[in-house]
Chains A and B, each alone.
Chain A
């Protein structure tokens, strides 16, 4: 089974900061990776699909990159409404979520 490891588990940043969240797979997942945002008390929401494609309606400050085993979600300028937990998800072999990164305001 493919394991997905996200880091850091908690990230504190200030409004306007550039923020980078990491997701590492235990084996090559061929860019078959999505990112989801979950705000407190809500269902998750799709942000990025197939590594670097922005879902409709998602602000352009969000972007994704990566290949092989290493993937990144970047927020170019953190906004207060971005406070949430972010999960990566691989569907290359089986289906596995990462443990999540909780993003807080400093």
Chain B
């Protein structure tokens, strides 16, 4: 059974840093690109970052470019999102998702909440 389990969220002050993790199981993690997607309270979904299966390419939404860094450790089946210079507008539920080029986002984590507030 495929599982994606996020952790590392919480309440932080503006300007702070936070690192999210997503532990994958039930599939060959090292074969798939992985994404982070977020959803602000009562808002829609926002794609924020992609990392290729081998970390060779990384892409970011303009809203997080230069502040967030996506990475992965295939030996640990873990995806990361390092978030720096956090702003109130980064408050959201953050989801990791497995992307299959033939199927789309076929598996999602349960999400982890990040709240940026003074």
A binding-site residues for B, Cβ under 8 Å: 1, 34, 36, 38, 43-46, 49-50, 55, 85, 87, 89, 91, 94-100
Q: Are B108 and A45 in contact (CB under 8 A)?
A: yes
Tell me the residues in window 34-92 of chain B with beta carbons closer than 8 Å to chain A beta carbons.
35, 37, 44-47, 50, 59, 62
Q: In the bound complex, do residue B47 and residue A96 qualify as a contact, i.e. CB atoms below 8 Å apart?
A: yes
Q: Tell me whether A49 and B44 are in contact in the complex, defined as CB-CB below 8 angstroms, given that A43-B110, A44-B108, A95-B35 are known contacts.
A: no
Please tell me which one of the listed residues A43, A49, A89 contacts residue B95 in the complex, with CB atoms under 8 A apart: A43
Against A, the Cβ 8 Å flags (1 = close, 0 = not) of B25-41 are 00000000001010000
Q: Spell out B's residues near A (CB within 8 Å).
A: 35, 37, 44-47, 50, 59, 62, 95, 102-106, 108-111
CA distance A91 to B111 in the complex (A): 22
Q: How many A-B Cβ pairs are below 8 Å?
A: 51
Residues from chain B with Cβ under 8 Å of A50 in the complex:
102, 104
Chain A: CB-nearest residue to B45: A97
**Which of A55, A85, A94, A100 is in CB contact (< 8 Å) with B106?**
A55
Contacts beyond the supplied A44-B45, A44-B95, A99-B44: 18 A-B pairs with Cβ under 8 Å: A34-B104, A43-B95, A43-B109, A44-B105, A46-B105, A49-B103, A55-B103, A89-B45, A89-B47, A89-B105, A95-B35, A95-B50, A95-B59, A97-B44, A97-B45, A98-B44, A100-B44, A100-B45
Report the minimal beta-carbon distance from A30 to chain B, rounded to whole angstroms: 13
Residue among A46, A95, A99 having the largest count of chain B Cβ atoms under 10 Å: A95
Distance in angstroms between the alpha carbons of A95 and B104 in the assembled complex: 11
Chain A residues with CB below 8 A from B47, complex form: 89, 95-97
